[in-house]
Chains A and B, each alone.
Chain A
Amino acid sequence: MVYPGSNKLVRWLFGLYISQSVKRNFYQINFNEIPVDRSRATLLLANHYSWWDGFICYHLNQLLFKKRLHVMVLEATVKQWPFMRHLGAFSINPQSKDMSRSLTYAAGLLDDPDNLLLIFPQGKLYSNFINDIRFEKGLGRIIAQSSGNFQYIMAASFTECFDHKKPSVSLYLKAPAIPPGNINAVNDAYTRHYNESKQLQTQTVV
């Protein structure tokens, strides 16, 4: 298993680079402000349709959550792009026995109120036009192993161009109250939030 890098200077430099490249490649990153619970860790669940998702959430963390971001990434991807470690990436390999170590590590991160754990619960890249978001089982194990004292934040993200050359990303954020330890309730709440966000997104006319 690959753990996140701990060098604060390298992390700061990479953070600067990510924010710059997000600003360079996108016209706008839109999101709604939600109250962030500083007394508990944050579990950020987001849909996964692009290579940029992690970077955009990193940028969002710098603007809104301002916590220490950790993100679960497939082992092959972290090994291909080792710099991701410095952005808070740790690895998971669903085909390996090491997987339970990654899940336990992730659950442990949720005990520290300064942490933000970003997970793309779909497990791999899907189209941005999908209607049905299905979570992989790993998230349920993380939730079950954790102490349960964290804040859920759900992010539904959509790319649009409208009248600009560069695309914009709209992130719809919500902090729902979910009964502890029930992965199906989490998946249902996310799907509901995703579809409501999509409805809002499609009402935009320029």
Chain B
Amino acid sequence: MIPHKRNAAIQKLFHRYVNYRVRKAFNVMPYNHVNIKRNHSILLLCNHFSWWDGFWAGWLTDQYLHRDFYIMMQEDHLESRKWLGYMGGFSINRQSKEVINSLNYAAGLLNEPRNLVTVFPQGALMSNHSEDIHIEKGIGHIIKKIKGDCQIIYYSAFIEYFESFKPSVYFHLLDCGTNHNFDFEQLKSAISTHHRQALKEQVNVKH
């Protein structure tokens, strides 16, 4: 696996660049607030349907979640864009035996309360219109390996246009509790219910 090379100064500059890019490309990016626990690291899980997903997770971290940003990426993607390592990118290769090292590495980062690790639990790019969110088993492994306090937050994001020439992104956040008393089946069911509910709410969003 490729470890991150996160550099705080470079990441700060990168967040400014991300803010510029998303403001330029998108019309509005509304999100709901959840109860963010103090002195907890954050495992951020998101639906994975676009090139922009990592940018959005970085943007949301900078705007709202306020933690040091790390992101789990496919090894071939990180290899072809090595500079993303400086932004907190570290790799996972699902076809390799090293997969367990990447999961333990993510758990290690989450021992620190100031860190946030973004993981796309579906493991592949799926349609934004999917009604089911598949959660890979590795998520359960990461959470069980965390030794400190960690809050799990999931969001479903949806792209819409409505009256604008630019697309908008609507984030539906869910507080999935912490790594203590964690149950993988319960997490899967909570995310699945939330995603279906978010799809229903999306139909009625103000525009």
Q: A51-B161, A129-B202 are in contact. List 10 more A-B contacts (CB 8 A).
A: A51-B165, A52-B161, A126-B203, A128-B160, A129-B199, A129-B203, A159-B128, A165-B52, A205-B127, A206-B125
* CB contact between B52 and one of A126, A128, A161 (< 8 Å): that residue: A161
Tell whether A95 is near chain B: CB-to-CB under 8 Å: no
A161 contacts B50, C-beta separation under 8 Å: yes
Known: A129-B199, A164-B51. A201 touches B163 (CB 8 A): no
Tell whether A12 is near chain B: CB-to-CB under 8 Å: no
B51 contacts A163, C-beta separation under 8 Å: yes
CA distance A115 to B97 in the complex (A): 61
CA distance A14 to B126 in the complex (A): 36
Q: Determine the chain A residues whose CB is within 8 A of the CB of B25 once the complex forms.
A: 165
Nearest A residue to B163, CB-CB: A51
Tell whether B167 is near chain A: CB-to-CB under 8 Å: yes
Nearest B residue to A203, CB-CB: B127
In A151-206, the 8 Å CB interface with B consists of: 158-165, 167, 198, 201-206
Tell whether B14 is near chain A: CB-to-CB under 8 Å: no
Nearest B residue to A198, CB-CB: B129
Tell whether B207 is near chain A: CB-to-CB under 8 Å: yes
A162 contacts B50, C-beta separation under 8 Å: yes
A159 contacts B51, C-beta separation under 8 Å: no
Separation in Å of the A127 CB from the closest CB of chain B?
Answer: 5
Separation in Å of the B198 CB from the closest CB of chain A?
Answer: 9
CA distance A203 to B130 in the complex (A): 8
The 8 closest A-B CB pairs, nearest first, are A50-B161, A161-B50, A206-B125, A202-B127, A127-B203, A129-B202, A202-B130, A204-B127
CA distance A65 to B86 in the complex (A): 50
Tell whether B159 is near chain A: CB-to-CB under 8 Å: yes
Number of interface residues of B (CB under 8 A): 28
Which residues of B line the A interface, CB within 8 A? 25, 49-52, 124-131, 158-165, 167, 199, 202-205, 207
User: What would be 24 A-B contacts, judged by CB atoms less than 8 Å apart?
Assistant: A50-B162, A51-B163, A126-B203, A127-B204, A128-B158, A159-B159, A160-B50, A160-B127, A160-B128, A160-B129, A160-B159, A165-B25, A165-B51, A165-B52, A167-B167, A198-B129, A201-B129, A202-B127, A202-B129, A202-B130, A203-B127, A205-B126, A205-B127, A206-B124
Nearest B residue to A25, CB-CB: B165
Tell whether A83 is near chain B: CB-to-CB under 8 Å: no
Known: A129-B199, A167-B159. A160 touches B49 (CB 8 A): yes
Known: A161-B51, A206-B124. A125 touches B129 (CB 8 A): no
In A137-155, the 8 Å CB interface with B consists of: none
CA distance A52 to B97 in the complex (A): 46
Q: Determine the chain A residues whose CB is within 8 A of the CB of B51 once the complex forms.
A: 161-165
Tell whether A9 is near chain B: CB-to-CB under 8 Å: no
Separation in Å of the B117 CB from the closest CB of chain A?
Answer: 22
CA distance A125 to B124 in the complex (A): 31
Q: Determine the chain A residues whose CB is within 8 A of the CB of B131 once the complex forms.
A: 202
B199 contacts A125, C-beta separation under 8 Å: no
A49 contacts B50, C-beta separation under 8 Å: no
* CB contact between B124 and one of A51, A129, A205 (< 8 Å): that residue: A205
Nearest B residue to A131, CB-CB: B203
CA distance A160 to B127 in the complex (A): 7
Separation in Å of the B120 CB from the closest CB of chain A?
Answer: 12
Known: A159-B167, A160-B128, A201-B127. A127 touches B159 (CB 8 A): no
Separation in Å of the B1 CB from the closest CB of chain A?
Answer: 22
Nearest B residue to A159, CB-CB: B159
Known: A127-B160, A165-B52. A52 touches B165 (CB 8 A): yes
Q: Determine the chain A residues whose CB is within 8 A of the CB of B52 once the complex forms.
A: 161, 165
Separation in Å of the B19 CB from the closest CB of chain A?
Answer: 16
Q: Determine the chain A residues whose CB is within 8 A of the CB of B167 once the complex forms.
A: 159, 167
A125 contacts B162, C-beta separation under 8 Å: yes
